[in-house]
Structure 1
Amino acid sequence: MIITNNNKVYEKYKSDYKIYYKECSFKEILLYVRDRVHEGHILLTHPLSSSIKPNETPYKSVLISDYKESLDYKSLTIIENAILTYDKFKKDKDYTVELTDRIMNDFKIVDLSIIENALK
């Protein structure tokens, strides 16, 4: 299952995979993934994959199992640490940069590329 706030990921994979798409913040995606992990889903990609810091991009796509098992503590630790890292970056580097449509599109393409490679 793909969890994303990137419409390019949604449009490309909506017919091929279970997908949860919502226009929301990066952190809201992390929180949604955490809630799914609590239900028994397993992380299949790291929620902070890529060299782009979480405070620098608004888009995030994460792969999780589409089945549920018992709580996977490794997945839980990873997603909880990702949320803490996100909060730390937002706190330590709280600055606002105007993201033009072109920059936003570039971030969408980078996120899409990461998911494409993970799916291979």
Structure 2
Amino acid sequence: MPETKYLIITNNPLSSPSKEEKLLFICGTALDVLVKVRDHMHEGWELITHPLTGNIKPSQIRFKTIYLRYSGNDKPDVLTVSLISDTIYLLERTKPENLNEETINDLMFIDWELSKMN
């Protein structure tokens, strides 16, 4: 049985992979992370984590950590691609709130904590 491959795509500097995972760090926004996730889904990767975890308002999303598993499927799952696409659409149409540094650091920590649950 082939070894399962896992990938973390994130813009959160607190994120770090375990021995089984690779990390793709995106120097950009949460929206940039989601676009990269969608691209990977069209290359045989499956979504493991939901793109809107943590009940954080879209206008406050600064950091996003998404876990993927390699399936090798030629055709991605329509429902999860739709989920990512809908989330991208939501963030594209949401104006980010002006947040102070403490709040931004809190959001970074929340994303990191949520990602450890996977």
TM-score, scaled relative to structure 2: 0.83
Residues 12 and 108 in structure 2, CA contact (< 8 A), matched pair in contact too: yes
Residue in structure 2 matched with residue 97 of structure 1 by the alignment = 98
Would you tell me which structure has more helix in proportion to its own residues? 1
Mapped contact 1:40–1:72 kept (Cα < 8 A)? no
Q: Residue 55 of structure 1: SS of its match in structure 2?
A: helix
Q: Distance in 2 between matches of 1:20 and 1:95?
A: 24
Which protein has the bigger strand share? 2
Give SS of 1:65's match. Answer: strand
Residue in 2 that maps onto 1:66: 70
Aligned residues between the structures: 111
Q: Which residue of 2 aligns with 1:111?
A: 111
1:16, CA displacement in angstroms? 4.8
Structure 1, unaligned stretches of length 5 or more? Answer: none
- CA change 1:47–1:96 in 2 (3 A) is closer
Deviation at 1:51, TM superposition (A): 0.6
Is there any run of 5+ residues in structure 2 with no aligned partner, and where?
Answer: 1-6
Task: List structure 1 segments (4+ residues) > 3 angstroms apart after TM superposition.
Answer: none
Percent identical: 25
Contact 1:26–1:54 (CA under 8 A) maintained in structure 2? no
- Residue of structure 2 in register with 1:31 after alignment: 35
**Cα RMSD after superposing both structures:** 1.7
For residues 9-49 of structure 1, the C-alpha deviation after alignment (integer angstroms, 9 at most, x for no partner) is 13xx2655211112211110110001011112111011111
Whole-angstrom CA distance in 2 between matches of 1:14 and 1:21: 14
Contact 2:10 2:63 survives alignment (8 Å): yes
